[in-house]
Structure 1
């Protein structure tokens, strides 16, 4: 089952929160949903789930609006706010209410409690839970109907390192089962480890929709750091080998190391070997998802820290 967003638009007064946004989330992979604060991620998710009505466009799950699904928990599992749970109910009681409202058998409650690591606290009141435990309970609720589609907004908030590692593995496992997994997060390092595909938005508009590796490659530069016995000779040999049609970009660091663009590490090593130049280090440096994201969204950020460039007025 796919999530299809087509020309989705939402205004709040004079503010355009989502602006003719279109993208598709497909099964079998984890799709990360990224964007600066105020980009429209939560509003988009709320419109997909029928919680906000769009001013224009459509958001469909398997070709249907969410509001047309008879038993929605069996088709779409969602976690938007882990704290939106009655604090006096136990974890098991919370899940029983959800199961009864969607025609889900009670046996499923134990299964999702076990999968999210909450079996031992099933009878505890949710009001005593930490935020990380509430995130696990929210995920248990999303999984309750064994849905083919999962939508999770900042699911690792409040989790400790072990919990973050567990969540990463679970999301990959769920996608590997053929589910459509759509996850928003500000933790770019975690998204780099988890997401196979990215939808990036800024000020309500689509910035990029691509595989994670393709997005990084398109929004950053790869170079090769080389330390050689004779940097000048190597630079000259590389210029000659590259030729005018494929020029190599070569700059020299203060310590004498060469930074090279336009040639692969293998090609550089071959040229050095052919000219008898010793190579002490040859490292291909690729940008992180964070660096690529900042490059792609720099024109869409509304809140900057100017402390490094401006003096505070007296």
Structure 2
């Protein structure tokens, strides 16, 4: 089952939260949904789930709007807000209510509690849960109907390192089972390890949609760190490459493969002590791709990293406030 966004547009007053956004999320892989703060990610997920009505365009799950699904929990599992649980209820009671509302047997409750590591705390009140435990409960609820589609907004938020590692493995496992897994996150290092495919937006518009490997190749550079017995001579010999010299005498070579660099050095009788390929991280590629769609940056931040003072898109801020009030 696929998720399709077709020219989705959403405005809140005079602010455009999502602007003619189109993409497809396919089964069998983890698709990461990335973008700066206020890019429209949460609003997009809410429109897919029928919680916000688009001003234009449409969203489909397996070719149908979410509102037309006969058994929603059995077709789409969603986690948008881990705190959206009555604090006086136990985890077990919360899942029982959801199961009853969707005609699901109680046996499935034990299965999802075990899969999310909550069996021992199932009878505890949710109000005493940490954020990480609430995330696990939210995921248990999303898995309750054994759905082929999962939509998860920041599911690793609040998890400790062990929990993040567990979540990564689970998401990959769910995708390997043939499910459609659509997950947003600000943890780019984690997305680099988890996501097979990326949908990246900025200011409500599509920035990139491709495999993670293709995105890295298109939005980052790869170079080679070279240490040689005579770096000056080697730099002169590498005429077809772009070469820069580090303060310690190491060469940074772009445009040539390591083997070609080594062959050139050998042909000129220059000893090579190190050849190290340096590939850009997802974080570096993401920052380059979204450079023009971040609302505010520190002008002195020469690396282009966003600071902690990025403003939210006004429309998405209003939506998030509405979620908290509900």
TM-score (norm: length of structure 2) = 0.91
Distance between the aligned counterparts of 2:18 and 2:62, measured in 1?
A: 22
Q: What residue in structure 2 maps to residue 169 of structure 1? A: 169
Structure 2 matches for 1:100-119, cutoff 5 A? 100-119=100-119
1:308 is displaced (CA, Å) by 5.7
Q: After TM superposition, which residue ranges in structure 1, 4 or more long, deviate above 4 angstroms?
A: 306-309
1:307 is displaced (CA, Å) by 6.5
CA deviation vs aligned residue, 1:2-51 (integer Å, no higher than 9, x gap):
00111010000000100000000000000000000110000000000000
1:271 is displaced (CA, Å) by 1.8
Q: Structure 2 residue aligned with 1:285, among 273, 278, 297?
A: 278
Distance between the aligned counterparts of 1:238 and 1:303, measured in 2?
A: 40
1:266 is displaced (CA, Å) by 1.8
Q: What residue in structure 2 maps to residue 131 of structure 1? A: 131
Distance between the aligned counterparts of 1:39 and 1:251, measured in 2?
A: 36
Q: What residue in structure 2 maps to residue 296 of structure 1? A: 289
Distance between the aligned counterparts of 1:295 and 1:210, measured in 2?
A: 15
CA deviation vs aligned residue, 1:31-79 (integer Å, no higher than 9, x gap):
0000001100000000000000000111000000001011101000000
Q: What residue in structure 2 maps to residue 92 of structure 1? A: 92
1:306 is displaced (CA, Å) by 4.7
Distance between the aligned counterparts of 2:18 and 2:184, measured in 1?
A: 15
Q: What residue in structure 2 maps to residue 269 of structure 1? A: 262
CA deviation vs aligned residue, 1:255-287 (integer Å, no higher than 9, x gap):
211111110112112222233311111111111
1:253 is displaced (CA, Å) by 1.5
Distance between the aligned counterparts of 1:298 and 1:123, measured in 2?
A: 47
Distance between the aligned counterparts of 2:301 and 2:210, measured in 1?
A: 33
Distance between the aligned counterparts of 1:283 and 1:154, measured in 2?
A: 35
DSSP 3-state at the match of 2:238: helix
Query: Which stretch of the first structure deviates more once superposed, 177-186 or 296-305?
Result: 296-305
Unaligned runs of 5+ in 1: 240-246, 310-314
Q: Structure 1 residue aligned with 2:243, among 243, 250, 273?
A: 250
Corresponding position: 1:155 with 2:155: yes
Question: How many residue pairs are counted as aligned between the two chains?
Answer: 302
Distance between the aligned counterparts of 1:112 and 1:147, measured in 2?
A: 12
Query: Which stretch of the first structure deviates more once superposed, 218-227 or 160-169?
Result: 218-227
Distance between the aligned counterparts of 1:140 and 1:304, measured in 2?
A: 38
Unaligned runs of 5+ in 2: 303-326
Structure 2 matches for 1:167-206, cutoff 5 A? 167-206=167-206
Corresponding position: 1:14 with 2:10: no
Change (3 A) 1:202 1:308: closer
CA deviation vs aligned residue, 1:163-216 (integer Å, no higher than 9, x gap):
000000000000010100000000101101100110000000000001111111
